[in-house]
């Protein structure tokens, strides 16, 4: 039997190697998350252009084959495409046909938005690098098997090396892929957003060994630049100030650009007086050493969860009569900040302007915030009674008018216990991960923008607190979910049925869904999501055992990641957080607020935009609504955009003047870069919440759309019983063969 197993193993390896070798043909690849090191989502391919884009057709599809959400930006190297599908399996596909080459199944807990590809100079060593359950891991890109020489038996524990007890860290792995530079993986993190959460250190890891090469402390330690912008020893208890979004890299200069998020807790900063460097910054860092080259802080002492998450865009512009290599950072608050990418000098003045004071005890809101004088904002930054949704009933409009008049709707109004703060854009509005792209040589930057509003009011009790269990789960459901999904969980015209939902997805997928939102459902990251799942699971009854779908032809080469890692990823941990360390500044009271999304859409359309900036002039070249909301259209709306509740939409920008982007309305569109006109659109079998990719192989150019989350509005296919999700797929478009 032992001899038979060795023979079978060798046969499988030879088969996989042969398929992989056959796939390596002349190809223009998409080797990096976001299309390249600069994360521009730009491709210099000329087969698909304005004159023939309307001839695009489906070349092939690869079915997801389950109900899990897959937002992965596919990686294409030579003629091999790497995707996530079928119960969180990493699958290598022939990029011409969609045929499986190998399947490494059951990688539950893998980073959802993207993975990294690295190869040695001789191309003999090829690796897929990813985070899973708070560990770094690698898979051989040729065979699909775990690389056990990496780290310790194939694992690098991301909780270690942060200056805290690893056991105290709930979660640290990022949702995004990081960035490969030479033999380094540059990486940010997700720290959670509660009091005393994990530190948001930026780190570089050796691709071969897994060892930490450098660390940059975003909450400075004694003697480090910026330490004085925090209270003494803040690094011991303040978390966040992390890069959970996208990193851009100037490969030629070896400069990495890290956008950072809010320090925690996000909405009440009495334990962190000061400007709080390096929270909410664009950081330019020497990619080889981790040394800070320059920074700009876009929010001082953030109280609004205005993380910088969108990929910095590297463009060359004509400025003051000469070419300038610039970096442009889009923000949640609706500004686009533009700098000389080497010196950090703003291309146009950025003014410190007075902003509202806080009336909360002990809170020291910054007296000023930076406002770019150019280019102009791309999102609404104030909520007024003129912005109330005209498609609501008169009674609903009157209700929100009264609330708005008794609250405050200015940009940078601090949350309070005494009034409702209407924050426009919301914490998921403006720009977010995946939503920026560029035509670098033309100096054009494109933003997929979202107009939403958060309503904040601080309380001493955490939102829907409690440690879980059926009673608190029922209370949370009644308060936050019942209005849309019904007391009997059967849903409505807007919201799907939740009957049997815990038999369709497990606790991890359910809690991530609530933390990120989907379609018109906003994000609820601050609820006790595990308690809601427990409540629904008790109503649904026992879950029958299930097995992963069988491969479609390619061999299953492995199951699970490297041995010894956690099986289930840690949760965010809510808002409460652990106790403060002894001897540090702790607030007398901890105040809380939800993300302010637990309300109907009371904002007038358009709700989503595609915006084009010409950074040669510092102006908006054009701005058009993106998509249509089915409910608003039924009431007479036109060009409404889609109220997506924080859903992200990645783009592909081509050298032939096209922008491809998928929307929450279940369509993919091609826009003209010159004027925003829609030149082509196609219906998708499901909604896309990931970044598209484009590549060329064997003389044919392809567009791949990860339509792999849920069915478009108005279709019921995702609500049927069972594990399968027949509509979800990676959909690959190309011109007809005769049009090559």
Helix axes 529-540, 507-516, angle to 10 degrees: 130
Q: Please report where in the chains the tokens 């309300």 appear, as a residue.
A: 599
What are the structure tokens assigned to 317, written together? Answer: 């512009």
Q: What are phi and psi of 135, to 5 degrees?
A: -125, 150
Please report, to the nearest 10 degrees, the dihedral formed by the alpha carbons of residues 370, 376, 378, 380 taken in order: 70
DSSP element (H, E) containing 508 = helix 507-516
For residue 428, what pLDDT is reported? 85
For 639-738, list the strands marked E by DSSP.
Answer: 651-654, 658-662, 667-672, 678-683, 693-697, 700-707, 729-734
Residue 179's DSSP bridge partners are 186
Q: Between residues 620 and 490, which one has the greater pLDDT?
A: 620
Q: Between residues 493 and 313, which one has the greater pLDDT?
A: 313
Q: In what order do the strands lie in the sheet with 667-672?
A: 42-43, 651-654, 658-662, 667-672, 678-683
Task: Give yes or no for a contact between 267 and 303, defined as CB atoms under 8 angstroms apart.
Answer: yes
Task: Give yes or no for a contact between 643 and 631, defined as CB atoms under 8 angstroms apart.
Answer: no
Alpha helix ranges (H) inside 507-648: 507-516, 529-540, 630-634
pLDDT interval class at 226 (50, 70, 90): very high
Angle 478-501-514 (CA atoms, 0-180°, nearest 5)? 60
Closest CA to 413 of 331, 305, 303: 303
Global pTM reads: 0.90
Task: Give yes or no for a contact between 622 and 445, defined as CB atoms under 8 angstroms apart.
Answer: no
pLDDT in tens, 322-360: 999 999 999 999 999 999 999 999 999 999 999 999 999
For residue 483, what pLDDT is reported? 62
pLDDT in tens, 680-719: 999 999 888 889 999 999 999 999 999 988 766 555 455 4
Task: Give CA–CA dist 81/732, Å, rounded.
Answer: 11
pLDDT in tens, 514-563: 755 554 555 565 566 667 877 787 777 766 655 667 777 789 999 999 98
Is 120's pLDDT higher than 90? yes
Task: Give yes or no for a contact between 608 and 641, defined as CB atoms under 8 angstroms apart.
Answer: yes
Q: Which one of 284-293, 542-551, 565-574 scores highest in mean pLDDT?
A: 284-293
Angle 634-640-645 (CA atoms, 0-180°, nearest 5)? 100
| DSSP 3-state of 334 | coil
What are the structure tokens assigned to 459, written together? Answer: 């309380």
Q: Between residues 186 and 646, which one has the greater pLDDT?
A: 186
For residue 214, what pLDDT is reported? 98
Residue 316's DSSP bridge partners are 325
pLDDT interval class at 215 (50, 70, 90): very high
Kindly report the length of the chain.
Answer: 740
Task: Give yes or no for a contact between 708 and 666, defined as CB atoms under 8 angstroms apart.
Answer: no
Sign of CA dihedral 488, 494, 498, 499: positive
Q: What are phi and psi of 648, to 5 degrees?
A: -100, 150
Task: Give yes or no for a contact between 595 and 521, defined as CB atoms under 8 angstroms apart.
Answer: no
Task: Give CA–CA dist 322/532, Å, rounded.
Answer: 58
pLDDT in tens, 354-390: 999 999 999 999 999 999 999 999 999 999 999 999 9
Q: Is 41 left (phi over 0), alpha (psi -120 to 50) or beta?
A: left
Mean per-residue pLDDT for 127-153? 97
The reply to whether CATH 3.65.10.10 applies to domain 470-540 is no
Task: Give yes or no for a contact between 409 and 384, defined as CB atoms under 8 angstroms apart.
Answer: yes
Is 740's pLDDT higher than 90? no
**What ranges do the domains of the chain cover?**
470-540
What are the structure tokens assigned to 326, written together? Answer: 């610039």
User: Helix (H) and strand (E) counts for the chain?
Assistant: 8, 38
Angle 143-145-146 (CA atoms, 0-180°, nearest 5)? 145
Would you call the peptide bond into 357 cis, given omega within 30 degrees of 0 as the criterion?
Answer: no
What are the structure tokens assigned to 726, written together? Answer: 């027949």
Task: Give CA–CA dist 70/98, Å, rounded.
Answer: 17
Closest CA to 88 of 548, 505, 501: 548
Task: Give yes or no for a contact between 518 and 710, defined as CB atoms under 8 angstroms apart.
Answer: yes
Cα–Cα distance list, 508 to 106, 266, 525, 664 (Å): 14, 24, 13, 23
Would you call the peptide bond into 375 cis, given omega within 30 degrees of 0 as the criterion?
Answer: yes
DSSP element (H, E) containing 135 = strand 135-140
Mean per-residue pLDDT for 209-232? 98
What are the structure tokens assigned to 710, written together? Answer: 């849920």
| DSSP 3-state of 634 | helix
């Amino acid at each position: 039997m032992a001899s038979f197993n060795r023979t079978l193993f060798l046969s499988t390896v030879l088969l996989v190697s042969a398929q992989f070798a056959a796939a390596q043909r002349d190809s223009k690849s998409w080797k990096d998350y976001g299309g390249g090191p600069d994360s521009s989502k730009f491709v210099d391919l000329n087969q698909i252009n304005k004159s023939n884009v309307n001839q695009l057709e489906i070349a092939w599809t690869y079915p997801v084959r389950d109900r899990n959400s897959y937002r992965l930006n596919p990686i294409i190297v030579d003629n091999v495409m790497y995707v996530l599908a079928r119960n969180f399996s990493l699958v290598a596909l022939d990029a011409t046909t969609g045929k499986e080459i190998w399947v490494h199944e059951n990688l539950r807990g893998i980073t959802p938005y993207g993975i990294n590809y690295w190869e040695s100079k001789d191309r003999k060593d090829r690796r897929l690098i990813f985070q899973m359950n708070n560990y770094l891991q690698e898979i051989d890109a040729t065979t699909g098997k775990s690389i056990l020489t990496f780290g310790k038996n194939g694992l690098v524990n991301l909780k270690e090396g942060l200056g805290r007890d690893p056991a105290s860290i709930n979660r640290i792995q990022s949702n995004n892929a990081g960035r490969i530079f030479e033999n380094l993986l540059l990486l940010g993190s997700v720290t959670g957003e509660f009091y005393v959460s994990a530190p948001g250190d930026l780190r570089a890891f050796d691709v071969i060994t897994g060892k930490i090469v450098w660390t940059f402390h975003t909450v400075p330690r004694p003697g480090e630049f910026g330490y004085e912008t925090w209270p003494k020893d803040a690094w011991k208890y303040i978390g966040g100030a992390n890069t959970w979004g996208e990193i851009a890299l100037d490969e030629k200069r070896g400069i990495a650009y890290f956008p950072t998020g809010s320090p925690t807790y996000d909405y009440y900063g009495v334990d962190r007086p000061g400007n709080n460097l390096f929270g909410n910054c664009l950081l330019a860092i020497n990619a080889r050493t981790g040394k800070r080259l320059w920074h700009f802080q876009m929010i001082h002492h953030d109280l609004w969860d205005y993380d910088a998450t969108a990929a910095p865009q590297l463009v060359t512009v004509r400025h003051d009569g000469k070419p300038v290599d610039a970096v442009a950072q889009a923000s949640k608050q609706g500004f686009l900040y533009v700098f000389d990418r080497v010196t950090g000098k703003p291309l146009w003045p950025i003014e410190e302007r007075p902003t509202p004071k806080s009336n909360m005890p002990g809170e020291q809101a910054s007296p000023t915030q930076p406002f770019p004088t150019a280019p102009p904002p791309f999102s609404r930054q104030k909520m007024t009674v003129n912005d109330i949704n005209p498609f609501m009933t008169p009674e609903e409009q009157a209700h929100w008018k009264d609330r708005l008049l008794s609250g405050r709707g200015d940009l940078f109004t601090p949350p309070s216990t005494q009034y409702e703060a209407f924050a426009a854009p919301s914490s998921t509005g403006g720009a977010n991960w995946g939503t920026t792209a560029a035509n670098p040589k033309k100096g054009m930057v494109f933003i997929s923008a979202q107009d939403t509003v958060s309503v904040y009011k601080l309380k001493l009790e955490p939102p829907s607190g409690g440690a879980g269990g059926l009673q608190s789960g029922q209370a949370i459901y009644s308060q936050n979910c019942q209005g849309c999904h019904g007391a009997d969980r059967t849903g409505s015209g807007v919201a799907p049925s939740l009957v049997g939902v815990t038999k369709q997805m497990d606790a991890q997928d359910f809690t991530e869904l609530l933390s990120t939102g989907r379609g018109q459902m906003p994000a609820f990251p601050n609820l006790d999501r595990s308690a809601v799942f427990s409540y629904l699971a008790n109503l649904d009854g026992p879950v029958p055992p299930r097995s992963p779908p069988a491969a479609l032809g390619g061999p299953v080469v492995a199951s699970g990641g490297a041995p010894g890692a956690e099986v289930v990823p840690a949760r965010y941990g809510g808002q409460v957080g652990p106790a403060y360390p002894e001897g540090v500044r702790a607030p007398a009271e901890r105040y809380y607020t939800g993300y302010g999304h637990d309300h109907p859409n009371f904002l007038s359309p358009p709700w989503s935009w595609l915006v084009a900036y010409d950074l040669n002039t510092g102006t908006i070249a054009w701005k058009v609504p993106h998509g249509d909301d089915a409910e608003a259209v039924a009431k007479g709306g036109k060009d409404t955009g889609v109220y997506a509740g924080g859903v992200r939409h990645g783009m592909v920008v081509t050298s032939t003047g096209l922008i491809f982007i998928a929307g929450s309305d279940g369509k993919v569109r091609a826009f003209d870069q010159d004027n925003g006109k829609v030149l082509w659109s196609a219906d998708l079998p499901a909604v896309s919440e990931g970044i598209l990719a484009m590549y060329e192989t064997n003389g044919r150019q392809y567009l791949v759309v990860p339509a792999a989350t849920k069915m478009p509005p108005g279709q019921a296919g995702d609500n049927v019983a069972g594990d399968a999700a027949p509509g979800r797929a990676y959909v690959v478009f190309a011109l007809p063969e005769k049009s090559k």
